Amino acid sequence: MGKIFIRIFYKVKIKIFEYTIIKYVPNFFGLIFLLLLLWFWGTNKINRKKIEIFEHDLLNQISNTTNLNQYVYNKWHRCEFSTFSKLEKCMKIKVPLNWEDKNSEKIGFFIRRYGEENPKKIILILSGGPGGIGNSYISLAKEFYEYDKTALVLMPDHRGTGYSENLHCPIDKRTLSIQDIDNNKFASCFDYLKSKWQDKLKHFNSSQAGQDIHELIKLYPNIPIYIYASSYGTIWAQRVLNKKTLNIKKVYLESPFIAGKNNFLERNLETAVFSFYDNCKQAKYCSDKIQLNNIENLKELFRDIAHKKRCSHEFNENTRELIAKKSLWLLQYNYTAPLFPLLISGIKHCDEHIINNIFKYKSEINVTEIGNFKYSVYLHYNVFCNEIIGSYKNNNITINEFGFIENYINKCQYVPFYSNENSEQNYKNLNVKTLIVTGEADVSATKEFALELKEKFMTEKVRFVGVKNLAHIPLAFRINYEDFFEQKYLGAEKCRLNILFEFFNEKNEWPNLQCLTEIYPPIYSSDNALKYYESIFNNS
């Protein structure tokens, strides 16, 4: 139905596009069509998820990507695809591509805001990725505002992604998971970007993005700033903190990396895998699915797939490559972790169909749950390859122990190298209260990074909290718990909000962190969660 609609629509569009007023028709008709989809939404949660996926695919196809870098400058106005709420406004400002060059060309820097025009404090949300979209935090922004109506929440799009100057490739028709884009297509698109920007691609980095934030903060002189940053956003935040004169009061860093450091070099993958195994064995349905006696059996299972000792006739090379490159990343987020025991079950039964469905679905929920419409894969790798992994090469221990392969490394060969600021900076002279939270079962931003970052701040002004058994951005699950009919999993989100509300107030006390000890185990220990995901695959 979607393809028929799109073909008819674009044939009509070609005939009428010569009239200026018609150039906004794609978005208008697209929204009408999405409303019709919502009318057919129904109560079936499996169909609802499929509609979400189709809706996102359609939205990408009907939006004219040539308008990515066109927007209203220097004036707050109603945001595209938003409500008519006076609280939610958008704006684009011009910033230098290179802040070190006074004659540098200008690029667009996009900001979404939520709250009143004359705030008493600013809450600045710096998204992860790299390449995350500020709009993906709109729900959190609304929570902040409902708690404190004197706050204005700012959600910028990092340079290179979203509605800021976007590193997009014209042949891209759809936002894919960062791990799923084909290497040949990726290489071709980066060749296009290198020919367009030449050596200026190096300016799409965290240091320049930090300067963009300094320019944004100038719009609100003498108003206290509170920063919320997660994942890569913590590197962005560190670049912002480099400027000592800003009126920043408090900083919340969740699942942090360290600016200028080869972060992936020291990851402890076994901690995350053992955490999964330990929790899964304590949950009957999960334990029945994996049917493994110990952690060594789990390692052996994946090694045997990598070395073709298991399912040698049932699995083709593509399936083995999927398992080697993408299995580990199922444990990256709490909302994709339930797919891991189902993957193990599929491997043990040599069920190629279910394994392909698992990775296809994982790719789709990366898009629909995170809400990263217009996420730039190319900005992601431009920063990731230079500032997060640096000179890191594939870890043979990872392959030998688990049979996993670091899929990121293959793509970094197509990305131009640039030097970045070192990691020797510290913030001990800043009178900024900082709370660092990390998931101890994370497979990317590990506890070790968080503890190292903690040492860069004034001892009496920083506190570190490790959340056991949970993964990346541990307190932000980003998933609809109604699907699981288990209210207990709402505890993490409620805990996160309580901590943030207490931390971001004007008082000088630390928030009460007791709720962190009461959070339930990961979702894969939920029978309902696993059954829910299984029902999706059985209906695929």
Average pLDDT along the chain: 80
Taking alpha carbons only, the member of 201, 263, 204, 200 closest to residue 232 is 263
Same domain for 85 and 14? no
Give the dihedral sign, CA 427/428/429/434. Answer: positive
What confidence tier does 151 reach under pLDDT thresholds 50, 70, 90? Answer: very high
Q: Which of 21, 41, 67 is the last residue of a domain?
A: 67
Q: Are residues 202 and 112 in the same domain?
A: yes
pLDDT digits (tens, 9 = 90+) for 17-58: 444 444 445 555 666 666 665 555 444 444 444 444 444 443
- Shared-domain flag, residues 313 and 371: yes
Number of domains in the chain: 2
Residues 80 and 63 in one domain: no
What mean pLDDT comes out for the span 509-518?
Answer: 88
Torsion on CA atoms 454, 264, 340, 538, rounded to nearest 10: 120
Predicted local confidence at residue 21, as pLDDT: 45
The pLDDT assigned to 51 comes to: 43
Q: What does the pLDDT read at residue 85?
A: 77
What strand order describes the sheet that includes 88-96?
88-96, 106-115, 151-156, 121-126, 225-230, 248-254, 433-439, 462-467
Q: Does 356 score more than 80 pLDDT?
A: yes
CATH number of the domain encompassing residue 273: 3.40.50.1820
More confident residue, 380 or 154: 154
> What letter does residue 294 receive in the DSSP assignment?
S
Both 472 and 535 in one domain: the answer is yes
pTM of the model: 0.83
Which tens digits make up the pLDDT trace of 329-352? 888 887 788 889 999 999 999 999
On whether both 472 and 345 belong to a single domain, the answer is yes
Q: Which of 67, 95, 123 is the last residue of a domain?
A: 67
Show the domain range for 164.
Answer: 71-540
Per-residue model confidence (pLDDT) at position 441: 86
- pLDDT of the residue at 483: 62
Contact 448, 454 (CB under 8 A): no
Q: Distance between CA 299 and CA 469 in Å, rounded?
A: 19
Final residue of a structural domain among 16, 50, 67: 67
CA dihedral (209, 215, 220, 226) in degrees, to 10, reads: 20
Quick one: 350 and 426 in the same domain?
yes
User: How large is the average pLDDT for residues 147-170?
Assistant: 92
Q: How confident is the model at residue 12 (pLDDT cuts 50, 70, 90)?
A: very low
Please check whether residues 214 and 265 belong to one and the same domain: yes
The arithmetic mean of pLDDT across residues 316-329, rounded, is 89
Q: For the segment 468-505, what is each residue's pLDDT rounded down to a tens digit?
A: 888 888 887 555 556 665 666 777 778 888 999 999 99
Tell me the pLDDT band of 265, cut-offs 50, 70 and 90: low
Residue 291 sits in the same domain as residue 430: yes
CA 49 to chain centroid: 19
Indicate whether 169 and 25 sit together in one domain.
no
User: Where is pLDDT greater, at 211 or 448?
Assistant: 211
Strand partners, 453: none
Percent of the chain whose pLDDT exceeds 70: 75
Is the pLDDT at 174 greater than 90? The verdict is no
Residue 328 clears pLDDT 60, i.e. is over it:
yes
